[in-house]
Structure 1
Amino acid sequence: MPNSKGRKRRFGSIRKLPSGRFQARYPDPDGLFRTAPETFATQTDADRWLVRKEAEIIEGRWQNPDDKILFGTYANAWFKDRDYAATTRERNGSALRLHILPTFRDVNIGDISTAQIRRWRTTLLEAGVGEPTVVKAYQILRAIMNTAVDDGLIQRNPCRIKGAGVTKTAERPFLTVPEVFRLADAVPDRYRMLILLAAFTSLRFGELAALQRHDVDLDRRVVSVRRAAAETRTDGLLVKTPKSAAGIRTVAFPASLVGDLRAHLSEHAQAGRNGLVFVGPRGGTLRRNNFRRLWLRALAAAGLEGVHFHDLRHTGNTLAATGGATTRELMHRMGHSSVRAALIYQHLVNGRDQEIADHVDQQIRKAQDPDGPSGT
């Protein structure tokens, strides 16, 4: 069939449509002419598509578009195979169910194009779905399609929208050492050490909530993270070991906290070796919902509105960085899963973790005694 310029192609054909776009057709291995699933803005784009299609046929990579694999079927199987933590599974499952499947469930996975994905994303944003939620949905869709590429179902991932997988968030605040103590003094006494350890060891709320007495070594000035508490709507409260090997770690804390931590264990922690270090209002595991009201009240009293509990972790990382911690040392204290093997082998072998804690200790002493030698 001649193309729009009257020239016959060696493989396939291109014609210009009344809309001004270009349609491509090609013969499959059985000689049946097939039409490209999308039209093209230029003849050059259509020509390039035909070149790739011919290469697929020659190299034996061509797949019959009549062999339908619905996105919904594939995506549900993909999600079931993911080794997600409970909270991540709940969050990502919600994004898949609410924002991805309604559009793509009954679409052949090989027919999903970049143009369709761009329209889907724009529709979500115009409907008022928050940008972080749209970004998360796009990231999940991109991951599913990446696996489809690996499985040989599609040749190229159609999720190719520049910047669509990046969340544009404001820089989170970090607190000064005096602000940390002001906040710690504003919560009930049984939670004072929760604030201080969060800020000066970079532990997460769930890791702190799951700490047991035998995880705290006052002589060595370390806390061992062996488990974390998490809450989901479907499963409720779960206490599990960290998902990654790097999450299981030992983190040094400043010497200035030893006396207060010893007093906390004596007065507020559960009894016994396996007793919880931080206890909820009714004597059980501390939950975020139980603590939120106290947290907001303390923020108001300390004049620190807008601060999230997770910002204490950011504060600890910043303090460690100012003490000269390397990237790997920071990742160790954070329990970051990247390059986890290297971090596990480096565990305290050079004493730098204690040095980091000592630097934070100097900042604490300076804040507590501004008229001392370092403050004069």
Structure 2
Amino acid sequence: MAKRDFGTIRQLKSGSWQARYRDPDGLLRPAPHTFERRRDAQLFLSKVEADMARDDWYDPSAGQVTISEFGRSWLTERRLADTTRERYEVAFRVQVLPTFGNLAVNKVREADVRRWRAELLDGGTGEASVAKAYRLLRAIMSTAVDDGLIRRNPCRIKGAGDDRSPERPVLTVHQVLQVAEVMPARFRMLVLLATFTSLRFGELAALRRMDVDPEAGFVRVHQSQAELSNGQLIVKGPKTAAGRRRVAIPGALLVDLRSHLAKFSESGPDGLVFVGEKGGRLRRQNFRAVWVKGLSEAAVPAVHFHDLRHTGNTLAAAQGATLRELMERMGHASSRAAMIYQHISKDRDRHIADGLSAQIESAREDQGDDEVQG
């Protein structure tokens, strides 16, 4: 057995060469495989020695834990909101585990991730769902890098974690009023506030009387209702500080709002603003049947209730709301979503162009008058 300053090399009875070395803890470790040539074993030990000198060495056996085991530990160790945890667990179980579950963490390659993503998309999984699953896998593998299980995150597809959901439809103000008119009376204000204050369904379902000021004309958002797959309802605070906000209510809705509070809301400052037909809390699934029926009776395009928020944001942008104003109204800490509405506000762009046209015509008329007088 030949000796070196770092590690040892010996030839086995099979004729192949084995390299061994001591890790930073003093444990004697064999190379993960044997070598056909002594020279290859020497190169391996030189690389390990260099890695240790740079404090860049990692335990090759540690990465042998499976994605299934490591991923479940990752989920358990994270402090996540109940709804977020549920979404992660579904994505992990449905999209990640079937392909990577039995594979060791250190065996996942970039080509594997590219093929997995392509197969999900080709198989009909929506782009938004694939993007969420990719972000989850990328986060898990990033932790594996931090833990020294692997050197490099194999999730390196540019833009793969970006949601590219199709553009949502926008209703006109007339269409929104049509839908509100045919809805059961107790839900009309729900439709109007969802549109013209851009509140989410969960934020509306959690509103208390103390959160609404029908005289000053504003609504205060500081919590939201979420529903888990097992039917449990949870009231929680916003994800970010920006989610806590005060939104102005159009004056044209205030008379109707006062009427709603008097007829349909629970009493007392802590009473819910919106409740179901039998007095219980609003549930998204129960309300869906009412919503679909209303769309049909109003003869408007089949849209999701959440598209009312999209409509409201678009209308606000068309009124000339600045990027900061849109962010505050929507409750977003990032400008990314708000910028979308500035770009898609074609009606506002037309209005600006018409205004410029009027100025051009006015300037031309003035110029013509000057030439006549001259």
- TM-score category (smaller protein): 0.7 to 0.9
Count of matched residue positions in the alignment of Structure 1 and Structure 2:
304
CA distance in 1, matches of 2:232, 2:296: 29
Matches within 5 A, 1:1-376: 29=21, 34=32, 56-67=51-62, 68-234=64-230, 236-338=232-334
Code of the aligned partner of 1:135? A
Q: Which has the higher contact order (CA 8 A, sep 6+)?
A: 1
What corresponds to 2:358 in structure 1? none
Q: Which amino acid aligns with 1:306?
A: A
The two structures have a TM-score, normalised by structure 1, of 0.73
Deviations 1:340-359 (Å, cap 9, x if unpaired)? xxxxxxxxxxxxxxxxxxx9
Deviation string for 1:173-215 (max 9, x for gaps)?
A: 1222112111111211111111111111110001101111111
Q: 1:16-62, CA deviations, whole angstroms, 9 ceiling, x for partnerless residues?
A: xxxxxxxxx996755955569xxxxxxxxxxxx99997863441312
**CA distance in 1: counterparts of 2:31 and 2:141, whole angstroms:** 27
C-alpha separation in 2, matches of 1:51 and 1:314:
59
Shift of 1:135: 2.5
CA contact (8 A) 1:269 1:279 kept: yes
1-structure distance, mates of 2:233, 2:48: 52
The Cα of 1:148 is off from its aligned counterpart by 2.4
Letter in 1 for 2:327: M
Residues 29 and 57 in structure 1, CA contact (< 8 A), matched pair in contact too: no
> C-alpha distance in 1, partners of 2:169/2:85?
28
CA distance in 1, matches of 2:273, 2:256: 13
- Which ranges in structure 1 are unaligned for 5 or more consecutive residues? 1-24, 37-48, 340-358, 360-376
For 2:32 and 2:149, how far apart are their aligned partners in 1?
18
**Matches of 2:316 and 2:45 in 1, distance apart?**
56
Task: Report deviation, 1:247.
Answer: 1.7
Secondary structure class of the residue paired with 2:225: strand
What is the Cα deviation at residue 251 of structure 1? 0.9
* 1-structure distance, mates of 2:322, 2:18: 57
Q: Which one has the largest radius of gyration?
A: 2
Q: CA deviation at 1:101?
A: 2.3
Q: Which amino acid aligns with 2:51?
A: E
Asked if 2 retains the 8 angstrom alpha-carbon contact of 1:281 and 1:290, the reply is no
Check the 8 A contact 1:118/1:161 in 2, yes or no: yes
Q: Distance in 2 between matches of 1:217 and 1:76?
A: 46
- Preserved contact between residue 242 and residue 333 of structure 2 (Cα < 8 Å): yes
More helix by share: 2
Question: Is the alpha carbon distance of 1:32 and 1:153 closer, same or farther for their aligned partners in structure 2, counting shifts above 3 Å?
Answer: closer
RMSD: 2.9
Cα distance in 1, alignment partners of residues 228 and 174 from structure 2: 34
Following the alignment from structure 1 to structure 2, what is the Cα–Cα distance between the partners of residues 231 and 238? Answer: 6
Give the partner amino acid of 1:179. Q
**Cα deviations by residue, 1:142-195 (Å, 9 ceiling, x for unpaired):** 111122233333222101224432343221112221121111112111111111
Deviations 1:242-276 (A, max 9, x none): 23222222111111111110011111111222111
SS in 2 for 1:185: helix
Distance 2:124 2:307 in 1: 27
Structure 1 pair 319–128 and aligned structure 2 pair: CA distance change class (3 A): closer
1:26/1:50 contact within 8 Å kept: no
Counterpart AA for 1:315? T
How far apart are residue 235 of structure 1 and its match?
5.6
Alpha-carbon distance in structure 2 between the residues aligned to 1:176 and 1:51? 70
What letter matches 1:320 in structure 2? A
Instruction: Quote the sequence identity (%).
Output: 51
CA distance in 2, matches of 1:26, 1:197: 72
Between 66-75 and 194-203, the greater mean CA deviation after superposition: 66-75
Letter in 2 for 1:166: D
Deviation at 1:310, TM superposition (A): 0.8
SS of the residue 1:154 aligns to: coil
1:317, distance to aligned residue in structure 2 (A): 1.1
Letter in 2 for 1:56: D
Which whole-Å CA distance do the structure 2 matches of 1:295 and 1:26 have between them?
A: 70
